[in-house]
Amino acid sequence: MQNDNRQMRYLLRLFALFGALGLVACNPTYNWREVRPGASTLVALLPCKPDEAVRTVALDGESVNLDMFSCDTGGATFAIGFADIHDRGRAGPLLAWWRAATLANLRATVSADVPFTPKGGLALPQSARVIASGQRADGDAVKVHAAWFAQRTDSGAQLFQAVVYANKIGQDVSDTFFSGLRLQ
């Protein structure tokens, strides 16, 4: 009888443990999904369902339609933007301008800067992945993990920006996001 009670308590603890592990595994904070932003050649992993917006912006004086896909989860904003340009020769300078404008807007200081060219991307010296610290518009501190890259198209090139903004960004979350970027 005493042996049966021990076995029952053991089984109850085991079920409770598996139940708790199941709840942790089903945590929807980072519900990674594959998305194909608009008419881009990009396939990406996002941890939440993105909202979409399109607006006309000036990239270094060149008027382009900028498609943005973004979502918020776990205290972070994940965003992907892309624009089509007709002059492939301007891809590198426009990536550099986009990067400088983004970091200047955040008053950011870069702490890491490495080349970043997803498979199928244009091998440009301006294609990079950075880690930076800056300030939001309200003055609060923000961490930024971002990448800029481009791909050749029949009519020119597509320029991309992928970025994560948060108070604190886990390296595993950042690596999942950036390793999930694929050009087709």
Percent of all residues in the chain with a pLDDT value above 90, rounded to a whole number: 78
Give me the mean pLDDT over the 46-53 stretch.
96
Shared-domain flag, residues 142 and 108: yes
- Positive or negative, the Cα torsion across 67, 160, 59, 113? positive
0.95 exceeded by pTM:
no
Give the SS3 label for residue 59. Answer: strand
Structure tokens at 184: 């087709």
Structure tokens at 50: 């993105």
Tens-place pLDDT, residues 131-163: 999 999 999 999 999 999 999 999 999 999 999
Kindly report the backbone phi and psi dihedral angles of residue 24, in degrees, each rounded to the nearest multiple of 5, phi listed first: -65, -45
**In terms of Cα–Cα distance, which of 49, 88, 86, 89 is closest to 71?**
49
- Asked if the model's pLDDT at residue 119 lies above 50, the reply is yes
Give me the mean pLDDT over the 19-36 stretch.
65
CATH number, domain with residue 171: 3.40.1000.10
Distance CA 79, CA 91 (A): 20
Shared-domain flag, residues 3 and 82: no
- Which of 6-20, 56-70, 77-91 bottoms out in mean pLDDT, i.e. has the lowest? 6-20
Shared-domain flag, residues 55 and 74: yes
Distance CA 135, CA 112 (A): 17
Shared-domain flag, residues 145 and 108: yes
Domain range for 21 is 1-28
